[in-house]
Structure 1
Amino acid sequence: METSAECGAGLGLKPQHFDEARKCDAPGLWFEVHPENYMVAGGPRIAWLDAVRERHALSLHGVSMSLAADRAPDTTHLRRLRALADRVQPALVSEHLAWSAWGGHYHPDLLPFPRNGAALSRIAANIACAQDVLGRRIAIENPSHYLRVEGHEWSEQAFLAELVQRTGCGLLLDVNNVYVSARNMGFDAIEWLDAFPGEAVTEIHLAGHSVDVNSQPPLLIDSHDAPIADPVWALYRHVIDRIGPRPTLIERDEHIPAFPVLLAERARAQAILASAEVAA
């Protein structure tokens, strides 16, 4: 089984690319999936995933633990996720720092929260619960921000660092989320990244974004439906120069191009990782 240290730049695994993904022999290539699409006992999807896993490392990137919610993650969900993880032995497991369920009501989105002491205690307990049931460390992703939330007592970087300290979790640094948030909220992305706890980063995400022109002022949206923008590439290189190579995922969830197009974008990230390894 490949470890995260052996992972270079990876791609999100899409059903239309299964055959090409399975056959591709690019060094360091790995694939990420949303585990919610594969938490089944059998069928074609899990068979395809098994086939890809024979050649490439996998990452499970969850979207429904609701770690910032008012109660512990659903135990049935975690047990099903563990069964999948035990089957495919992923190099990486990650989840979002957000909530989608509250008071027994589910919302089909990843929603923000005030970074206060109560939230810190609640989320740390939820992460610890998830890691205990899964029997493995997970990485927590920094979110995109679109509006100002009142009641913050911690900076985002300090909040994440404290979660790492309390739970032993890792961090998934989404560079596009930082760029989108910086543009929407008016802060300096470089300064934000320089304050991020880089030693805890186990994975990096890169993605494209879009502009919501119906908002005033217009908002950048973490839409995963376009090539990675040049300013995001520049931020990525800055991060890698600072913290060293980390497994890096190219995300594309809408307007998905042909597999060779994604491979070319992935090759750009791989080249940055390779140059950092030489410099080290």
Structure 2
Amino acid sequence: MKRDALRAPTGIGWRQPHYQVLMDERPPLGFLQVHSENFFAAGGAAPQVLAGARAHYEISLHGVGLSLGSACGLDEAHLASLARLVERIEPVRVSDHASFARLPGRHGNDLLPIAFTDASLAILVANVQRVQERLRRPLLVENLSAYLAWDDDHLAEPEFFNALTATSGCGLLLDVNNLVVNALNRGADAAGAERAACAWIDLLRPGSVGEIHLAGHARLPSGPVIDDHGSRVDATTWAVYAHALRRLGPVPALVEWDTDIPPLPVLLDEAARADAVVIAALTPELET
């Protein structure tokens, strides 16, 4: 593999505290990720801010509101707002989560985990295909950090996502921090969480992953590990990321930081670390 083939520079989540400083300094980044719903408004400051960023960076739209796993179907008004934003911004990628938050007439604020069953797979496939038809582009669907499981789960999670991507034509947004968090909450130590997350990745269909997410997590005093996106990426997650790169190749990656947001240089340092991991993980394959 030639060194040019490793050009998948890392992006960062662009949050309000960094709007102005990032536009003033314009550091080199692969892309910026924003939460789609924050920019649905047709007028006002938010669309202007995003349009200004789009003039200098590729934009990845990451949503939390499609509720792709809801049996009651999609909110067509929400989907229409997303479609208008996609048309306006022409993002490099569009993504949401393998979760549900909707009941008829109600929408919650949590990304609730879906069951890994044939029935929930059929619901997810139908909703994903509807979104892709409306947006006229493939969607990426993210694996969750989940703090409970359903009694009727009978599909392994990687098998579930393999079936989703193969049937719907969507891609997987692989959140490696979520894999680590889930393993830790099942009782694994750091080494065991690394092994479990790497084994999860090894079961994925080749070519199905369109983006990777990296983030920090926190262990609460009561015991659970929370995917809070509020700290630097830890050593276990970096190790799983390196494994994912060796398994999947140079997939675009994002550093997420959504709580206790630090000064921009800290976030840029994490992005630079991710770029260095790409080189270190894939250098043995380079041509001499």
Question: What is the CA–CA distance in structure 2 between the aligned matches of 1:134 and 1:6, rounded to whole Å?
Answer: 27
Question: What is the CA–CA distance in structure 1 between the aligned matches of 2:35 and 2:8, rounded to whole Å?
Answer: 18
User: How big is the alpha-carbon RMSD for the aligned residues of Structure 1 and Structure 2?
Assistant: 1.7
SS at match of 1:242: helix
Question: What is the CA–CA distance in structure 2 between the aligned matches of 1:251 and 1:171, rounded to whole Å?
Answer: 17
The partner residue of 1:202 within 210, 221, 227 is 210
Question: What is the CA–CA distance in structure 2 between the aligned matches of 1:267 and 1:111, rounded to whole Å?
Answer: 32
TM-aligned CA deviation for residue 165 of structure 1? 1.1
Question: What is the CA–CA distance in structure 2 between the aligned matches of 1:270 and 1:82, rounded to whole Å?
Answer: 32
Partner letter of residue 260 of structure 1? P
Question: What is the CA–CA distance in structure 2 between the aligned matches of 1:189 and 1:128, rounded to whole Å?
Answer: 28
Match of 1:100 in 2: 101
Asked if 1:247 corresponds to 2:255, the answer is: no
Partner deviation per Cα, 1:102-132 (whole Å, 9 max, x = no partner): 2332221011122111111111000001111
Question: What is the CA–CA distance in structure 2 between the aligned matches of 1:28 and 1:256, rounded to whole Å?
Answer: 18
The partner residue of 2:266 within 247, 261, 274 is 261
The partner residue of 1:189 within 189, 192, 197 is 197
The alpha-carbon distance between structure 1 residues 63 and 127, as it changes in their structure 2 partners (threshold 3 A), is: same
Match of 1:168 in 2: 169
Match of 2:154 in 1: 153
Partner letter of residue 214 of structure 2? L
Question: What is the CA–CA distance in structure 1 between the aligned matches of 2:267 and 2:220, rounded to whole Å?
Answer: 24
TM-aligned CA deviation for residue 186 of structure 1? 4.2
SS at match of 2:207: helix
Match of 1:227 in 2: 232
Report if aligned partners of 1:58, 1:92 keep a CA contact under 8 Å in 2.
yes
Partner letter of residue 249 of structure 2? G
How many residues are aligned here?
Answer: 273
SS at match of 1:199: coil
Question: What is the CA–CA distance in structure 2 between the aligned matches of 1:18 and 1:25, rounded to whole Å?
Answer: 11
Report if aligned partners of 1:67, 1:99 keep a CA contact under 8 Å in 2.
yes
Asked if 1:116 corresponds to 2:121, the answer is: no
Asked if 1:139 corresponds to 2:140, the answer is: yes
Question: What is the CA–CA distance in structure 1 between the aligned matches of 2:23 and 2:139, rounded to whole Å?
Answer: 25
Partner letter of residue 83 of structure 1? R
Match of 2:129 in 1: 128
Partner letter of residue 160 of structure 1? F
Unaligned runs of 5+ in 2: 1-5, 189-195
Report if aligned partners of 2:140, 2:171 keep a CA contact under 8 Å in 1.
yes
SS at match of 1:245: coil
Match of 2:219 in 1: 211
TM-aligned CA deviation for residue 275 of structure 1? 4.0
Question: What is the CA–CA distance in structure 1 between the aligned matches of 2:76 and 2:36, rounded to whole Å?
Answer: 15
Report if aligned partners of 2:176, 2:241 keep a CA contact under 8 Å in 1.
yes
Paired-residue identity, %: 37
The partner residue of 1:272 within 242, 267, 277 is 277
Question: What is the CA–CA distance in structure 1 between the aligned matches of 2:282 and 2:22, rounded to whole Å?
Answer: 25
Q: What is the TM-score with the length of structure 1 in the denominator?
A: 0.92
Report if aligned partners of 2:115, 2:149 keep a CA contact under 8 Å in 1.
no
Partner deviation per Cα, 1:164-213 (whole Å, 9 max, x = no partner): 11110000000000000011124622212221334200000000001122
Report if aligned partners of 1:244, 1:276 keep a CA contact under 8 Å in 2.
no
Report if aligned partners of 2:64, 2:96 keep a CA contact under 8 Å in 1.
yes
Q: What is the TM-score with the length of structure 2 in the denominator?
A: 0.90
The alpha-carbon distance between structure 1 residues 38 and 275, as it changes in their structure 2 partners (threshold 3 A), is: same
The alpha-carbon distance between structure 1 residues 171 and 90, as it changes in their structure 2 partners (threshold 3 A), is: same
Partner letter of residue 96 of structure 2? E
Question: What is the CA–CA distance in structure 1 between the aligned matches of 2:280 and 2:21, rounded to whole Å?
Answer: 27
Match of 1:236 in 2: 241
Unaligned runs of 5+ in 1: none
TM-aligned CA deviation for residue 23 of structure 1? 4.2
Question: What is the CA–CA distance in structure 2 between the aligned matches of 1:26 and 1:272, rounded to whole Å?
Answer: 19
